[in-house]
Amino acid sequence: MSRLKWVPRIHIEERLPTAEATKDLVSVAHIRFACARLRLARGGMEQEEAQTIYDELAESFVILQKLQRVDGIAVVGSMFGQILAMGSYPDEALTVLDQSAMAFEQMQQTQQAEQVRALQKRIREEQG
């Protein structure tokens, strides 16, 4: 079994219950984001894991917004926005990506903010 196959299972079956039991929301958000990244890395969008990836990123993003974690909003929002755009939800994608870009700007990470803004521009152009 490849390492990428079992890592989400370990996160979900071992780490997540502990984080949820202790109400460690930062860890819950991190675990969900890590699982989504791992699923994407192993081709999860092509292996019928798109809904799971969406759900994990959505949960992580909502938690990070609630906690006002600018770093997480920036990084998770960037990935979540891309997934929304891939799933034919351009308006939602633009909203999430806007929050991501603003968070990158708050952290003075202008290059990342510009990359997110460029992605927003491409989405708008595809919308026509």
3-state SS assignment for residue 43: coil
What is residue 15's predicted lDDT score, i.e. its pLDDT? 86
The candidate with the shortest Cα–Cα distance to 53, out of 87, 26, 104, is: 87
Exposure of 29 in the CB half-sphere (CA atoms within 13 A) = 21
What is residue 1's predicted lDDT score, i.e. its pLDDT? 41
Alpha carbon 50 to chain centroid distance? Answer: 12
Structural contact between residues 33 and 56, judged by C-beta atoms closer than 8 angstroms: yes
pLDDT in tens, the chain (128 residues): 444 455 567 667 778 888 889 999 999 999 999 999 999 998 988 888 899 999 999 999 999 999 999 999 999 999 999 999 998 899 999 999 999 999 999 999 999 999 999 999 999 999 87
